[in-house]
Amino acid sequence: MPRTGDSMRGLAVFIADIRNCKSREQEKKRINKELANIRSKFKGDKQLDGYQKKKYVCKLLFIFLLGNDVDFGHMEAVDLLASNKYTEKQIGYLFISVMMHHSNDLYKLVIQAIKNDLSSKDPVHICLALTCIANIGTPEMAEEIGDEVPKILTSPDTLHGVKKCAALCLLRLFELKSDKFIHAELSSRLIALLSDQHLGVVTSACSLIQALVTANTVEYKGCVSLAVSRLSRIVSSTDLKDYMYYFIAAPWLSVKLLRLLQSYGQPTDSAVYERLKESLETILNRATDPPKSKKIQHTNAKNAVLFEAINLIIHYDSDAALMVRSCNLLGGFLNSKETNLRYLALESLTKLAVSDFSRKAVMKHQETVVQALKNERDLSVRQRAVDLLYAMCDRDQAEEIVGELLAYLEKADYSIREELVLKIAILAEKFAQDYKWYVDVVLNLIRIAGDYIADEVWYRVTQIVINRDDIQAYAAKTVFEALQAPTCHENMVKVGAYILGEFGNLIAGDERSGPIVQFKLLHSMFHLCSNQTKYILLSTYIKLINLFPEIKGDIEEVLGNDNQLRNSDAEIQQRAMEYTKLSQIASSDLLATVLEEMPQFTERESSLLAKLKKKSNTLVKERDDGDNTSLQNVELSSAPVDVGGSSLLDLESPSGTAEIPEPALESGTPQDSPVLNNYSAPPAAVAAAPPAPAAEPSLLDMFGGAPPATDPTKVQVVTGLIECNEAAQPNFKAFICSRNNGILFENEIIQIGVKSEFTGFEGKLQVFYGNKSPLPLQGFNTTLFISPKDQPSLRLEGQKVTLLISAGAQIPQTIKATAVAAFGETPLLQISFSAAGTAHTMVLRLPLLVNKFCKGTGMGAQDFFMRWKNLNLPAQECQKVFKASRPMDNDLVKGKVQGFGFQVLEGVDPKPDNLVGAGIIVCEGSQVGCLLRLEPSKPAQMYRMTVRSSREGVPELLVNLLSQDL
Amino acid sequence: MIKAALIFNNHGKPRLTKFFTYYTEEMQQQIIRETFLLLSKREDSVCNFLEGGTLIGGSDFRLVYRHYATLYFVFCVDSSESELGILDLIQVFVETLDRCFENVCELDLIFHMDKVHYILQEIVMGGMVVETNQTEILTHIEAQQRIEKQEAGIFKPSGRMGGAPARALSAAKSMAPNVNLPKLADLQNISLPSFKKL
């Protein structure tokens, strides 16, 4: 086609002018001149004809392309839409779709013009309108024109050129307003488009159906067999006339069809699947055929189809033979000259590496992949190699792969280091056979890429060291050595400080790492560190005082130094001050209690995985298993409860010693950081706990109860058993007044145990499912149920468990509970699975009771009676007389009441047999004070129990619970 | 879905920008700049896909591009598109341009910006591939051109309009030696490499 003499001279001259400009200023000047010219023309009295408008609008487009703001001309463009000349209409639509946003006032006119064109007899006009909607559709258009488009699309008279546009136009409208276009009649006609004679129509329809399928999978299921037969026809044909692209039949359509099929599982109809399998095999076979053309386009198109076919095979994940063949083909591509192919092959292999069918076949290429990591020039290809190594890593290969990744880390691009560090840390933890190796790897990470260590990485290593006593001495020794290096990253100081503070004593025997040496080494870094690290170091110092009383003097000197006590940072001041006082006042026994070794961290989902997921949502999903699954919200309160509004009333505390919520003094330490929560909190909590006024103000009371380092809510533990039938659960009672760990359920197939922990308004349950049978439990699934009444009062969040528990294995599930308000019923846990072909379902009550959030509180007699009298409304009291179900032993009853959550107050009630207690139910944002009076009558073997509370309904809850177990 | 189709030259000057999702003008300019910075550093031997910049949508998006002589053709796509497929689509686009403009060069794109848009429209619509068959695409464009000629013939005396852009183009080309813009000698390089070689 020659360059036609059709367009606008003024435009060409203007463009030439712009191109002749020698500087940006000159260009700007010329553009402004032109803008002024066009503006005056548009505003002028003289009526412009269509050609002139077209020319000016086109100039504006060019000016816009150069990156200049154009804020007029819209009206003129809309005028052009109404022209009956095709070229003018066309440029009008172009202007609108490039430059106009639908917030523009003129949009109503645009919609009107589109409507007119849709009803035009001229197909080219219809196409223009449809194209415009497809490009810039708005919800209003869907509303006003939505009904027209499906008609055009499904009418037998419509030309295929128009049909193509209509299909994509409908796709846009569907995305804007999906509910309008879902009905059975339409879906069957749309599916039929897949058999259209014109391949262009099928291509567009394929995109449309792909989108519709995601919204309505069932209704469009019919597209599978049509797509398979279409694909089969394309694959087997050698001559599709115009749709042959460099000897490949309709590659785009093939890719689209293969994508569409990935919306569904493997076809259940065996005839359909056989046909599909045949096509897939043909595609795989062709990959190794000699090329029909030397042109890159030929191989490109061929491979586009091949990769998509492999994606489908991976998606089905069922045919080992096909998957292994795919692996081998892709393995061949790893040595291809084409960078694109190497990139895509690595990517697909990563997906294959997580399937059991092809895992081994992928492993064969490990060496090549490692080579790619070393030699590949393209960063993005190297990154794919990292992903693949991460995905294919297993216990046997871990040391080698982690070693390679560490080597790569040293020269890796800075932009990917953080992610790489996370991946290495996760692999090292997951596949560690020897935890010494794990510690070495993480310390190496810090050494090599200290700046790129996310906090989660070093939190995690300290957690693991604390939980495994077999490596603590080794860890202490290793960090001590690492800290001696001439340069040492701050993150290393953090880990070192933490570990030496806990386990420094384990290496103190050697005089080269004696107490004073450790302290001096740590303190030599102090002045170089950020405040965050200084906080940790200060905590370490006080811990060292406990570990090594002989260096108390040296440490007190540092703590009491004005550099700390008068530091500009309040947190440093506070820590230094409190630690100094603690060290001076407390006896060594008390110190040992306050500063005792950190308790073990309960296992929960690795914070590293969460972090990595946040960073990249690439392949983490597939790597998850049992203990590392993503948190799944099992139950969420539908509406947030307004707790702030009523909290003041609820703070009505019986003793005046209501627990003050932990102040947010952990500046710089994220609230959710597992390590620091406990470690850096003591000073804050010590400061926050007010002295108990009534009781003897002993130091033990001051310190013993409060610091989170020693578990503040000590709950007793008992073993019990629950049956599915919750009406008769004799042993569940045992959970009421007591401990939280034990077997929930056990039969010959499964054993379900629970461990729980409550802190403030938060509880954490770990449920362990153990498979006792010789066969795997399949389709394993758990669901939590909260009574509708309690839905806003209790929030649960739990991990998902794996679908399969192999014989003899045990998997944990973590459930987090938050008490938003006092709740009545215990949540239920439904478990279903199939064992040896039989389906099992059971429902268990979880030992999550409202009194688990109750915390005892002390007060004097006067205080008690004053509060008791104030709570005199009928709804604030509940009384019950009941028969004792156990021997009425005073000590036993006292133990039960305390285990329930009340503090027993001595000397309040004049009758020695009577028992009074006080407690606070800690909920999120509110606290409910509760008082108890229990009067036993031994001759009658009866109790009279009275509970008063500031919150209605709570007395009944507590009475009902506690009376069950007395 | 194809989120955007961009053409810019080796200096980052945009020659075609088409966004299929709405971005403010400012964002559009930033995306073009960012994309150019990402691509201009890449050697020709590295792979033709890279993860999208921060502006255009993060890790779910990829830039698929080809570099022809002085021009970069870039499609920004999400994960539902096949990378090799898009690479071929760019090829179809360029081949079509070449057929329409007879050995297309950068100047053709500049002086016929509207036509480039129309050609793209025949291939990609609303971010989806609409046609890949070159013969069909060309038929459509020729049909459009016929209408254009007719309308020009009916409503404007052909003498006034005929050959104007061609003249302007040759004028621009002949002016080229006097300005900083591509010299005549360079024009050979500007024109796209013959596809038979590729």
Is residue B94 very low, low, confident or very high in pLDDT (cuts 50, 70, 90)? very high
Residues in chain B: 198
Determine the Cα–Cα distance for residues A167 and A172; give it in Å rounded to an integer.
9
B22 neighbourhood in chain A, CB within 8 Å:
101, 136
A577 in helix, strand or coil? Answer: helix
User: Are A65 and B91 in contact (CB < 8 Å)?
Assistant: no
Listed in sequence order, the residues at least 6 apart from A486 whose beta carbon sits closer than 8 Å to its beta carbon are none
A245 neighbourhood in chain B, CB within 8 Å:
88, 92, 132
Contact with chain B for residue A343, Cβ under 8 A:
yes
Determine the Cα–Cα distance for residues A71 and A39; give it in Å rounded to an integer.
10
Contact with chain B for residue A387, Cβ under 8 A:
no
Contact with chain B for residue A153, Cβ under 8 A:
no
User: Are B82 and A67 in contact (CB < 8 Å)?
Assistant: no
- Phi-psi category of A760—alpha, beta or left, where left has phi over 0 and alpha has psi -120 to 50? left
pLDDT of residue A498: 92
For range B38-46, the mean pLDDT: 86
Residues B124, B129, B131, CA angle at the centre, nearest 5°?
85
What tokens appear for A551 in the block?
A: 């260096």
DSSP assignments along A581-625, one per residue: HHHHHS-HHHHHHHTPPPPPPPP-S-HHHHHHHHH--SSHHHH--
ipTM confidence score: 0.81
Overall pTM surpassing 0.80 (yes/no)? no
Q: How far is CA A609 from the centre of its chain?
A: 9
Contact with chain B for residue A24, Cβ under 8 A:
no
Q: If chain A, 966 residues long, is cut into consecutive pieces of 10 residues, what is the mean pLDDT of each piece?
A: 54 88 90 91 80 86 88 86 88 88 80 91 90 89 86 88 92 86 82 91 93 87 93 87 87 94 92 94 91 88 94 92 93 90 93 89 90 86 91 89 91 84 89 88 89 85 87 91 88 92 88 89 90 91 89 88 88 90 85 82 71 59 36 31 32 33 35 38 34 32 32 32 46 72 78 82 84 81 76 76 78 82 79 78 81 83 83 83 82 83 83 85 82 85 87 83 80
For A522, the enclosing helix (H) or strand (E) is helix A515-526
- Which of B104, B119, B132, B191 to substitute to test the interface with A, most A CBs within 10 Å? B132
pLDDT of residue B54: 67
Give which of A496, A553, A564 is closest to A531, Cα–Cα: A564
B113 neighbourhood in chain A, CB within 8 Å:
58, 61-62, 65
Widest pairwise Cα distance in chain B: 55
Q: Which among A5, A165, A251 has the least Cβ separation from residue B85?
A: A251
What tokens appear for A548 in the block?
A: 């090594």
A420-459 per-position pLDDT tens digit: 898 999 898 888 888 889 999 998 898 888 888 888 888 8
- Which of B100, B133, B147, B173 to substitute to test the interface with A, most A CBs within 10 Å? B133
Q: To the nearest whole angstrom, how far is the Cα of B55 from the nearest Cα of chain A?
A: 16
Residues 87-146 of A with CB under 8 A from B: 87, 90-91, 94, 98, 101, 124, 131, 133-137
User: Are B163 and A5 in contact (CB < 8 Å)?
Assistant: yes
Contact with chain B for residue A783, Cβ under 8 A:
no
pLDDT of residue B154: 58
pLDDT of residue A624: 39
Give which of A433, A431, A455, A457 is closest to A444, Cα–Cα: A457
A935 in helix, strand or coil? Answer: strand
pLDDT of residue A634: 29
A370-408 per-position pLDDT tens digit: 988 888 888 888 989 999 999 999 888 899 999 999 999
A250 neighbourhood in chain B, CB within 8 Å:
132
A15 neighbourhood in chain B, CB within 8 Å:
110-111, 168, 172
How many Cα atoms within 13 Å fall on the side-chain side of residue B112? 26
For range B167-177, the mean pLDDT: 44
Residues 598-617 of A with CB under 8 A from B: 616-617
User: Are B134 and A203 in contact (CB < 8 Å)?
Assistant: no
pLDDT of residue B58: 66
CB B122 within 8 A of CB B160: no
Q: Which among B88, B156, B179 has the least Cβ separation from residue A22?
A: B179
pLDDT of residue A204: 94
pLDDT of residue A616: 59
pLDDT of residue A725: 53
Q: Where are the beta strands (DSSP E) in A806-955?
A: 810-819, 828-835, 838-845, 854-856, 877-883, 903-905, 915-923, 926-937, 942-949
A839 in helix, strand or coil? Answer: strand
A62 neighbourhood in chain B, CB within 8 Å:
113
Determine the Cα–Cα distance for residues A10 and B168; give it in Å rounded to an integer.
9
**From A101, which residue of chain B is nearest by alpha-carbon distance?**
B22
For range B41-56, the mean pLDDT: 80
Is residue B187 very low, low, confident or very high in pLDDT (cuts 50, 70, 90)? very low
B196 in helix, strand or coil? Answer: coil
pLDDT of residue B156: 47
Q: To the nearest whole angstrom, how far is the Cα of A283 from the nearest Cα of chain B?
A: 16
